[in-house]
Amino acid sequence: MNAMPPTLQRDDDRMIVNLGPSHPSTHGTLRLILELDGEFVTKGTPEIGYLHRGVEKLGENLSYQQFIPLTDRLNYCSSIMNNVGYTLAVEKLLGIQDPPRSQVIRVLVSELSRIGDHLVCVGINAVDIGAFTAFLYLFKERETIYDLLEMAAGQRLHTSFTRIGGLMRDIPEGFLPLLEQFQESLPRTLDEMEKLLTRNPIWYDRTKGVGKITPEDAIAWGYTGPCLRAAGLAQDLRKAQPYLGYEGYEFDIPIGTTGDVYDRYLVRTEEMRQSHRIIQQCIQKLRELGPGPVIVDDYKVALPPKDKVYTRMESLIHHFKLVMHGIDMPVGEVYSATEAANGELGFYIVSDGGKSPYRIHVRPPCFPIFNSFDEQARGTLIADAVAILGAMNIIAGELDR
């Protein structure tokens, strides 16, 4: 392995500008090499790997349970969705399903973090375009989301909330009242933001027609998530192959028409409102379900409760076996995809029956999207390139893994 710097073919006397690795508009550590003809971008070469930590390789030496904290660090704007996606993959391999209460809570926190992710994306995109105020309006809501996640998981950013077979713990007492407050204030904040942006002529001029993509091209590049839906395809894994009982929730898939930055912004905004709807139904379902277990009752998969461990021989042995030897995994391979905030987040796991997986592969949603950056940015101005980059919502953590 010899690491070679990317070779740059310089033709004519075009200016080559480095956007990144540390630049105000590359959120996270990524690098774009822009070839400029005046203000126009003639070529944009994305270079990745600045945040590469070898997550997939690390996973080969960790037990299935131990990999969960590493999934937090993939898309750190919505880490719970990574937790959920990964545990669903392992559960699919095991052939088990978590209890209904756990499913509802998983949906609830996933939608919360979807809102959080979209808030960040829309807000940061607005900052890139110069609208700082909208960003701070949105961040007020994001604070509440993080407060909620902290109540649930004990951590704000790197939640590690799920366990194989369920959840780490049930949501605490004060969670639902705060959630209801949030449910009340989120639509107002979104309305405020839309007042600032949606009909703002400058915002419209800056985003309309920038980064257009046809549905065919979008599919060819491997787009998923809001970027694909903005291009006009109602593709959503929550509807297409429902998991966690998403078929039991009422929500719509917003789609755009042209796939430009404006449509992506509108789609994300509407998705937040739809997530808001789903959360409302989650609250109702939680009330209907009443208290119950949040993790499977199978001690071969999930740790037995502590009081049993301290009092019963069987449980102590299970605890010991689970911690020391891990779960008894069947031999096989599985690909499981969930609809994360950015698109299809897939986990491909190959198991040889051992303590740790033989191979883990993560399919991050923003990797294929980022590939198309050159095509999207070519011929636009620098300012557009920055807007496109923001609307793609590149999260370096999951891009480089």
Partner 1 sequence: MPTPTLTQTLVIALIQAILVVIFIFVIVPLTIYAERKVLGHIQLRLGATRIAGTHTGLTGLVNRSMWKLGKVPVLAYWRGIPMLVGDILKMILKEDVRPTKADRFVFFLAPSLSFVAAVMAFAAVSFVPGTFFTFPKWVPLVGGLPLSGGMADVNVGLLWILGIASVGVYGIVLAGWASNSKYPLLGSLRSGAQIVSYEVPLTLSLLAPVLMSGSLQFSHMATTMATGLPFWGIVPQMLGFLVYFTCGFAETNRLPFDMPEAENELVAGFHTEYSGMKFGFFYLGEYINMAVVSALAAGFFLGGPWLLPFGLQGLVNPYLPAWLGQPCALFFVVKIVLLLFVFIWVRGTIPRYRYDQIMAVAWKYLIPLALVNLLLAAMVRYLAV
In whole angstroms, what is the distance from residue 238 CA to residue 401 CA?
24
Q: Report the residue number, 64 or 135, with the smaller CB distance to partner 1.
A: 135
State the residues that interact with partner 1 by CB under 8 A: 15, 17, 23-25, 36, 39, 126-133, 136-137, 140, 196-197, 200, 202-203, 205-206, 381-384, 386
Kindly state the smallest distance separating residue 390's Cβ from partner 1, in Å.
Answer: 8
Which CB sits closer to partner 1, 199 or 287? 199
Cα–Cα distance, 300 to 328 (Å, whole number): 7
State the minimum distance, in angstroms, from the CB of residue 52 to partner 1.
Answer: 25
Cβ proximity to partner 1, 64 vs 182, nearer residue? 182
Helices of type H across 95-131: 100-129
Least gap, CB of 115 to partner 1 (angstroms): 18
Q: How far apart are CA 231 and CA 215, in angstroms?
A: 5
Closer of 10 and 53 to partner 1 (Cβ): 10
What minimum distance in Å lies between the beta carbon of 255 and partner 1?
25
Residue written as token pair 């299935």 = 64
**Of 42 and 97, CB closest to partner 1:** 42
Closer CB to partner 1, 6 or 290, in the complex: 6
Q: ∠364-370-372 over CA atoms, to 5°? A: 130
Provide the total of helices (H) and of strands (E) in the chain, helices listed first.
17, 8
CA 149, CA 155: separation in Å to the nearest integer?
A: 7
Name the residue among 103, 359, 102 with its Cα closest to residue 244: 103
Q: How far is the CB of 376 from partner 1 (least distance, A)?
A: 16
């301290």: which residue's tokens? 310
Contacts 24+ apart (CB under 8 A), 316-325: 322/65, 325/355
Q: Which two tokens stand for residue 101?
A: 């209460």
Instruction: Quote the least distance from Cβ 4 to partner 1, whole Å.
Output: 24
Query: In the numeric block, which tokens belong to residue 107?
Result: 């949906």
